[in-house]
Amino acid sequence: MSMREVGSVLVILACITILAMAGYLAYNPEEQARQKRDKLVQDTAGELASSIRGFSKKYSCYPWDYNGSSCAKKLTGQNQATVLSLAPVLEKLTEEPGGLSSGTLKADFLNQVYLSSTSESVNLCFTPESKTYKARANKQKDGQNFCQGTSCMVCVSR
C-alpha cells in the first residue's frame, strides 16, 4: 500500500468516526431518557393542575381548603408547598368524577413538583433533567418569572 492509499484510508476512517460521533450525539440515549422523564412529569403535572382547577370550580375552593362537606376558605390561594406535603388532601381528587385516576400521585412525582396557587390559577413547577427542558425553564418554583441560573423550573399552569 502506498502512502497515498494509507492517507486516503485514514481520511475515510476519520470521516466515519466523525459521522458516528455526530449520530451518537444526535441520538444520545441518556438525554432521550431524561426528556421522557421530564415529559412524563410535565404531563402528570398538567393532569393534576387540571383536576385541581376542576375541583375549585365545582366547590369554589381548593382541595386543601375543603373539609369534606364545605369549604373552610373561599379560593384564597396556597403558599408554595411541595406537592408531597399536600398528598393526603390531593387524594380527594381521585374520588371526583373526571378527577385523577387512583395511583396517579406517585411518591417520586410528589417529591419533585412544587405547587402554588392564586384565586385564578394553579402552578405546578419542576426542575427539569434534560437539556431541552432546561432551555425552556424560565420560572421560579412559585410560578413567578425572573429566575436565575440553576433555580429555573418548568411550570404547568391551569
Name every residue whose Cβ is closer than 8 Å to that of residue 50 and which is 6 or more positions away in sequence.
Answer: 158
What is the residue whose three cell numbers read 364545605?
70
Instruction: Write the pLDDT tens digit of every residue in 89-122.
Output: 666 676 666 566 666 667 677 778 888 777 677 8
Q: Determine the pLDDT at residue 94.
A: 65
Which is higher by pLDDT, 103 or 139?
Answer: 139
| Residue 76 clears pLDDT 50, i.e. is over it | no
Instruction: Write the pLDDT tens digit of every residue in 7-16.
Output: 788 888 888 9
Name every residue whose Cβ is closer than 8 Å to that of residue 34 and which is 6 or more positions away in sequence.
Answer: 129, 130, 131, 133
CA–CA distance, 99 with 66 (Å, rounded to integer): 15
- Tell me the three cell numbers of residue 99: 378527577
Q: Determine the pLDDT at residue 130.
A: 94
Q: Band the pLDDT of 70: cuts 50, 70, 90.
A: confident
Q: Cα separations (Å) of 129 from 26, 116, 120?
A: 17, 21, 29
Instruction: Write the pLDDT tens digit of every residue in 29-41.
Output: 899 899 999 999 9
Q: Determine the pLDDT at residue 96.
A: 65
Q: Determine the pLDDT at residue 134.
A: 92
